[in-house]
Amino acid sequence: MRLDDKVAVVTGAAKGIGAGIVERFVDSGAAVAGFDIDGEALRALADRLCSRGRILAIEGDVALERDVQKAIERTVAECGRLDIVVNNAGIELAGLIPDYTSEQWDRQVGVNLKGAFFFAKYAIPHLRVRGGVILNISSVHAFVSYQGDAAYDAAKAGLLALTRTLAIDHGREGIRVNAICPGYIDTPMTEQWLATVPDRDETMRQVLSIHPLGRIGTPRDIADAALFLASDAASFISGTYLVVDGALTAAGR
């Protein structure tokens, strides 16, 4: 599975799953434009990987249409083409619906779902040229809901619906669209959550106990799945999703 001569954009690229995908794609021969609101962390990633391949660091907010448009324009201008878009950027703000402000709801949906719409909107005219791939990073939250995660769950489920429709609408243009649904992954977002619980060690023991594989995932686990779906090895796979959760949902968790 190689991505030689391909150009990819990865959102939420500065850390966690996004950084894992950027690194995997660069090592597989792709030129990668990493897009993130955290410019400092993004530039640090680019500096670390620059000796291994071509990487652009583009600072911006996926929920702002103009930032997305400029990111696509810069990627094509500097790399000459666009082949792959990975919509990975996401945030999770827990809370009950009566306690949400409309701004909090809009921010979660804006980052987790509307950003994918913006990137598809501006990428598809370029992907039509040679065919290409859109990969949406959804979540097991798309079909297994948890208390206090209404906005996050709704947005991640929406990503699956968007994935199916884009695959239908643009398949004859040679564009494949799929999603990955990660479970618990060792990322800064998971660490932020663990910092809020009364007993981190006990919480981790409980988390590990509900995974039949006995561990949580790593960014590399998701990056490997992303590489497969972005590569020609998955040339007849479109309009679906791949669950990467260590059998968590299979166990009914």
pLDDT of residue 83: 98
What domains appear along the chain, each with residue ranges and CATH number?
7-244 (3.40.50.720)
pLDDT of residue 209: 92
Determine phi and psi for 237, rounding to 5 degrees: -110, 120
Q: In what order do the strands lie in the sheet containing 55-59?
A: 55-59, 31-36, 7-11, 84-87, 132-137, 175-182, 241-244
Average model confidence (pLDDT) for the chain? Answer: 96
- Whether the predicted pLDDT of 140 surpasses 90: yes
Q: Which of 122, 152, 184, 241 is catalytic?
A: 152
Mean pLDDT of the region 186-206: 88
Mean pLDDT of the region 217-238: 98
pLDDT of residue 189: 86
Mean pLDDT of the region 162-178: 98
Task: Examine the residue annotation and report whether 152 is marked as an active-site residue of this protein.
Answer: yes
Tokens, residue 231:
């590569």
Pairing of strands 84-87, 241-244: unpaired
Chain segment 66-94, per-residue pLDDT in tens: 999 999 999 999 999 999 999 999 999 88
**What residue has token string 């990819």?**
8
Chain segment 17-30, per-residue pLDDT in tens: 999 999 999 999 99
pLDDT of residue 51: 95
Stated as kind and residue range, the H or E segment containing 243 is strand 241-244
Quickly state the pLDDT bin for 196 (edges 50, 70, 90): confident
Nearest to 95 by CA among 85, 106, 84, 104: 104
DSSP 144: S
pLDDT of residue 70: 98
Chain segment 100-139, per-residue pLDDT in tens: 999 999 999 999 999 999 999 999 999 999 999 999 999 9
pLDDT of residue 193: 80
- Whether the predicted pLDDT of 194 surpasses 80: yes
Mean pLDDT of the region 233-244: 98
Quote the pTM value: 0.96
Q: In whole angstroms, what separates CA 178 from the centre of its chain?
A: 11
Tokens, residue 55:
């990487």
Neighbours of 211 (CB within 10 A): 18
Neighbours of 165 (CB within 10 A): 13
Lowest mean pLDDT among 123-137, 170-184, 197-211: 197-211
- Whether the predicted pLDDT of 253 surpasses 80: no
pLDDT of residue 1: 86
Pairing of strands 31-36, 55-59: parallel
Neighbours of 54 (CB within 10 A): 16
